[in-house]
Amino acid sequence: MSADGKSGRRGDGTVPVLAYRKIGKRFGDFVALAGVSAEVRKGEVVCLIGPSGSGKSTLLRCTNGLELIDDGEIALDGTPMPRDWNGMRRVRQRMGMVFQNFELFPHKTVLGNVTVGPMTVLRMPRKDAEARAHDLLRKVGLAEKAPSYPSQLSGGQQQRVAIARALAMEPEVMLFDEPTSALDPETIGEVLNVMAQLAKEGMTMVVVTHEMTFARRVADWVIVMDRGAIIEQGPSTQIFDAPAVERTRDFLSHLGWSG
């Protein structure tokens, strides 16, 4: 990013990892997304911020097809994604997702949680899947928790396992849906640190978050949403230090953000 923060977005001139073109999504009469267009580029951390109900999570869930879009098109590495469930499933393997409520599988150990994807979906032999899982658990600082069950871990530890579980599929892009919203304040930091580390290693990440300090510090690009539309997007410095749109300023000041 150049000094003036206006030009030189990372990956200019390359094919975006994710390209959203005029995405529309309705739930009955409720318009969740009204023509959203945006890009996520390789190695970028894109944060989606905005008031609750603004469509951030819906956009994220449409990205890996947990919700199917009604209008528009999402392209992964320049290839439009299929619109049907089975086609989406194959694309989905290339994206990792981390949920607000962790959604670890309670009947499996930590190791089992991290190996189940590679073993069932990629048909990886147990030995290889376990070796990969141990590497990833070490990476998120939970090497010694491999034999534990999720219920024996704190929220922050569970979420770090969930990150390892998603990484085990070696995704091209990681999707985070409010990853720290369900955490006790004292464990938020350990999860954000793991995410910042991932970002530093060049992982492409889309993060729905209310953690403005994290967004300010780690995001390359910030998208502000309200009522199913993007009201402003730009480099994080611009959004947080000099928001151009009134509603962005309102939202940030509402959260107590003072720049």
Partner 1 sequence: MNFDWSVVWRNSDALIEGTTLTILLAVTTMAISIPGGMVLALMRLSGVRPLVWASAAFTELFRNLPLILVIYTAYYILPVATGLSFSPVVTGIVALSLNVSAYNGETFRAGIASIRKGQSEAAYALGMTRWQTTRDIVLPQAVRRVLPVLASTWVSLFKDTSLVSVISVGELAYNSMRLRAQTYRVLEMLTAMAAIYWMLGYPQAKLVDWINRRYAVTE
Q: Say if CB 93 and CB 82 are below 8 A apart.
A: no
Q: Which of 16, 96, 150, 234 binds partner 1 (CB under 8 A)?
A: 96
Exposed/middle/buried for residue 72 (C-beta within 10 Å: 0-12, 13-18, 19+): middle
- The residue from 90, 126, 138, 200 that contacts partner 1 (CB under 8 A) is 90
Return the residues of window 37-66 that contact partner 1 according to CB under 8 A. 64, 66
Q: Which is nearer to partner 1, 22 or 89 (CB)?
A: 89
Which of the ranges 32-40, 91-99, 186-194, 248-256 carries the binding residues for partner 1, by CB under 8 A?
Answer: 91-99
Figure out which of the listed residues 41, 92, 132, 145 binds partner 1, where binding follows CB under 8 A: 92
Cα dihedral value 257, 200, 159, 121, nearest 10: 140
By CB under 8 A, name the one of 107, 123, 127, 254 that touches partner 1. 107
Is residue 101 close enough to count as binding partner 1 by CB under 8 A?
yes
**Binding status of residue 179 toward partner 1 by CB under 8 A:** no
- Tokens representing 157 are 């530890």
d(CA 9, CA 1): 6
User: In whole angstroms, how far apart are CA 101 and each of 57, 156, 159, 176, 252?
Assistant: 13, 11, 8, 11, 25
Which residues make up the interface to partner 1 (CB under 8 A)? 64, 66, 89-90, 92-93, 95-97, 99, 101, 103-107, 116-117, 120-121, 162, 165-166, 169
